[in-house]
Amino acid sequence: MTSGEQSQGRRPQDEILAGEYVLGVLSLEARRAVEQRIANDRAFARIVERWQADLASFNDDYQDVAPRPVVFGRIETRLFGPARVAAPSWDLWNSALFWRWFALGTSAVAVAAVFYASGVIPRPQGAAPLVAELSSTNDQINLLASYDAGNGRLRIVPVAAGGREEKSLELWLVPGSGDPRSLGVFEPDQAGELVIPADLRRNMTEGATLAVSLEPFGGSPTGLPTGPVVASGATRRP
């Protein structure tokens, strides 16, 4: 959407303002205002990017100075929480395993692909979404991928391998001390969303550990994870 407003990006005033922003001479308030404009005005954002590229050779004036080694540790702690003892990563999306599954899925070899004739997830247009179960031979989790051609969305939900009627994946909140508390069971038809029980929401804070365990169908019979724990990790602000 290019409005008349936005085409003002062609004025010299915008060149100057963008240049002032990149030079850094503006006040904090003015910088915030410019950033607002960058976010909302693509033409103006391009002018800023151009100044950034043009003036980048001034960066040669900054001679390398190594920071103290301790700094990187602090950055890692801020991003990933305190160092953990070889815990498996919850970062499913980033794990090699995930991409291996994904590769399997896309190669259409050694993949159990199930196309449901009837809509598993109801859609207004009535056309059934494509569903594929991405699996490998000896893992505990499969990924259920469902593709909605109507809006181009692909959803991937983790499901327990070996028959969804036999096992369930359960999500846990792991406190610093004390027993893990169940946050719910992943249902394959709920698009990977879990509604956290109201009384547990205040515990869903940055740094809280989440874990997923493989449980008998429907969830742990004891209220505590019976395992195995297939993934765990600390929460952080993205």
Residues that bind another protein (CB under 8 A): 9-10, 12-17, 19-20, 22-31, 33-34, 43, 46-47, 49-50, 52-59, 61-68, 71-72, 74-76, 78-80, 91, 93-94, 238
Nearest distance, CB of residue 11 and another protein, angstroms: 8
Q: What is the C-alpha to C-alpha distance for residues 134 and 152, in angstroms, rounded to an integer?
A: 19
Q: What is the C-alpha to C-alpha distance for residues 103 and 93, in angstroms, rounded to an integer?
A: 13
Kind and range of the H or E run holding 154: strand 153-160
Choose between 46 and 153: whose C-beta lies nearer to another protein.
46
Nearest distance, CB of residue 184 and another protein, angstroms: 24
Nearest distance, CB of residue 156 and another protein, angstroms: 15
Choose between 79 and 154: whose C-beta lies nearer to another protein.
79
The single-letter DSSP state of residue 235 is: -
Q: What is the C-alpha to C-alpha distance for residues 116 and 128, in angstroms, rounded to an integer?
A: 8
Categorise residue 22: left if φ over 0, alpha if ψ from -120 to 50, beta otherwise. Answer: alpha
Nearest distance, CB of residue 215 and another protein, angstroms: 26
Nearest distance, CB of residue 52 and another protein, angstroms: 5
R_g (Cα) of the chain, nearest Å: 25
Q: What is the C-alpha to C-alpha distance for residues 176 and 2, in angstroms, rounded to an integer?
A: 52
Residue type, 98: F
Among 180, 175, 181, which Cα is nearest to 197's? 181
Spell out the residues 6+ positions from residue 14 whose beta carbon is closer than 8 angstroms to its own.
Answer: 8, 44, 47
Choose between 13 and 125: whose C-beta lies nearer to another protein.
13
Nearest distance, CB of residue 200 and another protein, angstroms: 26
